[in-house]
Amino acid sequence: MKRPIDTMLEELKRAEKRSKKEFVKLESSFYKETLDKFEELQIRLKEAVESNDIELAAKLNEELTKAKKSYDNFVDIRLKKLLAAVISPTISVKNLTKEEAQLYRDVKELVNSFIETVVRGKPGQESVVVREEIVIKEDTVEEPKTMESTSEEFSNEEIAENVEISNERNKDVAEERYVLARVIARGVKIALPSGKVLELRKEDVLHLPEKIYRILLKREKVVDIRPSGN
């Protein structure tokens, strides 16, 4: 016999609450299917009321009320755990649904941007915040994997073609504008005029010298993520 949805959601809520370091595995369509079941119950409840079946209406109303309460609590627990996972490497994100994985990436990017610009940011500083990647496969989210050797390399000579280097290079670097950008290519290695090599992954967020940023933008390797109006 199929268990009532309120019982299933209550058990799921308790399991999620007990699991401190990882997420309970859900079907990829869990959220949509649950909301669809709520809608079905609501329709059945309306029909029971219209047919004056008081006993059935009372039963359906109780099931729907309990189910929604358990569902709200479950989502609340899971959301808090997801936000904690953004800043805590001890919480595994391998069991996120597609909706949750997208939220995780978006929040992770905002946090990295905040750290880069507010906590670590200095004028003229060449710094990179490496963004954790998660790969969605069917209804699971896997931990970051080693990046394949598909990175495109930009040599010093190639950069030098577009960036003027003179005896006053240090002064130029100090005065140059920096752009907050997000990497959209799978992998990019940049040999900067200073000799430093930046190895970037897709979705990394970093400050780039504007001239180098324009080179990468032209090649569709990065996009500008500065707030509108700046």
108, 103, 100: which is closest to 139 by C-alpha?
A: 100
* Cα 6 to Cα 70: distance, rounded to the nearest angstrom: 7
Task: Calculate the CA dihedral of residues 165, 171, 174, 178 and round it to 10 degrees.
Answer: -30
Residue type, 202: K
Q: Average pLDDT of the chain?
A: 75
**Exposed, middle or buried by CB within 10 Å (0-12, 13-18, 19+), for 190?**
buried
* Cα 21 to Cα 14: distance, rounded to the nearest angstrom: 14
The 10s digit of each residue's pLDDT in 119-151 is 766 443 343 433 434 343 434 444 444 334 444
Please check the confidence at residue 195 and state whether its pLDDT lies above 70.
no
Please check the confidence at residue 13 and state whether its pLDDT lies above 80.
yes
Q: How far is CA 3 from CA 6, 10, 41, in A?
A: 8, 11, 14
* Cα 59 to Cα 178: distance, rounded to the nearest angstrom: 63
Phi/psi at 140 (nearest 5 deg)?
A: -125, 165
Confidence (pLDDT) at 227: 52
Q: With pLDDT > 70 as the criterion, what percentage of the chain qualifies?
A: 67
Please check the confidence at residue 31 and state whether its pLDDT lies above 60.
yes
The answer to whether 182 and 203 are in contact (CB under 8 A) is yes
Q: Is the pTM of this model over 0.75?
A: no
Domain boundaries, the chain: 5-92, 127-224
DSSP state of 228: T
pLDDT-wise least confident of 35-44, 101-110, 127-136, 172-181: 127-136
Please check the confidence at residue 74 and state whether its pLDDT lies above 80.
yes
The 10s digit of each residue's pLDDT in 105-121 is 999 888 888 888 877 66
Task: Show the beta-strand stretches assigned E in 20-143.
Answer: 128-129, 135-137, 140-142
